[in-house]
Amino acid sequence: MLIDTHTHVNFKAFKDDADDVVKRALDSGVWIVNAGTKFETSRSAVELAENYSDGVYAAVALHPIHLFEHRVDLDEEEASFHTDGEEFEVGSFRDLVARSTKVVAIGEFGLDYYRLPKEHDHDAIKQKQKDVMIKHIELAKEIDKPLMIHCRPAEGSMDAYQDVLKILDENYRSPNFEIHCFTGDAPTAMEFVKRGGLVALNGIITFDKTGRSDKVVKNLPLESTIFETDAPFLTPLPHRGKRNEPSYVRFVAEKLAQMKGIDISKVEEVTTANARRLFRI
């Protein structure tokens, strides 16, 4: 058994076959946590989870790229979309959580310094992202849910990771969090581990040629590791070029087992236990 701790079958990329995708995952022994990025996608994640008795869960939050109106370029997929910008209405998200026991985390929210809108003041954007991140943390503490944190630094920098660590130190002295889609370096990964958090790895480790993933995987304890797909994005080998889906999380697990030189059954056992403990599922 494996758990895809962060996926988006609630996105439009799956509008025609979401149930088929979920069924493939469940049939292959993969459980799913669908993450919201706006109120509407958060609501759809909850609605999708409610269609299944077990194995499908939801996280709800407002992604930092949706705080401002701008055009978002998705570099890997060579696509883009326009976001109108959205305010984080705490009450609306609180009510969404109250509607369903299938909501297992507040996420994905956090900091994104990689795609800052050119037409806005970058310092103001970063400050708003920090303020909204703290509001998400306050909601999570109030309703006793773990954090699913998005963090993407500026190219060639660890700046957003350093700011996330500072915010956690000042506002969340708890190990109940995961850092989603980790792309930082090994020392930064270990800073999250020191705070008791889990580091989520995905298909990037199957095709990364920079050597950074190798160092992260080598240093990251299995007891601090969870897996995700971030589907429909970041498709792992051997399916690069195709739409990603939760069942492909198995390729991530197999790659990590190969990189660490340990048995895949041990990787499945420990990472699944990590995710189940964090999300209480």
Helices 122-143, 90-98: crossing angle, 10 deg rounding: 30
pLDDT score recorded for residue 78: 45
Number of domains in the chain: 1
Q: Is 108 annotated as a binding residue?
A: yes
CATH code: domain of residue 99: 3.20.20.140
Quick one: residue 85, left, alpha or beta (phi over 0 = left, psi -120 to 50 = alpha)?
left
Transcribe 203-271 into DSSP letters.
THHHH--SSHHHHHHHHS-GGGEEE---TTSSPPTTSTTS---GGGHHHHHHHHHHHHT--HHHHHHHH
The separation between CA 78 and the C-alpha centre of its own chain, rounded to angstroms, equals 21
The strand pairing partners of 147, in sequence order, are: 106, 177
| Cα–Cα nearest to 49, from 11, 5, 10 | 10
- Residue 137 is predicted with a pLDDT of 98
pLDDT at 84: 67
Helix (H, G, I), strand (E, B) or coil at 172: coil
The structure's pTM equals: 0.95
Q: Is 66 a known ligand-binding residue?
A: no
Distance in Å from the first CA to the final CA of the chain: 13
Ligand-binding site membership of 63 (annotated)? no
CA distance 203 to 241: 12
Separation CA 216–CA 103 (nearest Å): 30
Would you say 120 is a known binding-site residue? Answer: no
CA distance 118 to 86: 18
What is the rounded CA–CA span in Å between residue 191 and residue 188? 5
Q: Are 41 and 8 spatial neighbours (Cβ–Cβ below 8 Å)?
A: yes
Boundaries of domain holding 137: 2-279
136 among the known binding-site residues? no
Q: What pLDDT sits at residue 116?
A: 86
Encode pLDDT of 139-192 as tens digits: 999 999 999 999 999 999 999 999 999 999 999 999 999 999 999 999 999 999
82 known member of a binding site: no
User: Cα–chain-centroid distance for residue 50?
Assistant: 20
* pLDDT confidence of residue 48: 98
Could you read off the pLDDT tens digit of each residue along the chain, which spans 281 residues?
A: 999 999 999 999 999 999 999 999 999 999 999 999 999 999 999 999 999 999 999 999 999 999 987 566 665 554 555 666 799 999 999 999 999 999 999 999 999 999 887 777 999 999 999 999 999 999 999 999 999 999 999 999 999 999 999 999 999 999 999 999 999 999 999 999 999 999 999 999 999 999 999 999 999 999 999 999 999 999 999 999 999 999 999 999 999 999 999 999 999 999 999 999 999 99
- Rg, C-alpha atoms of the chain: 17
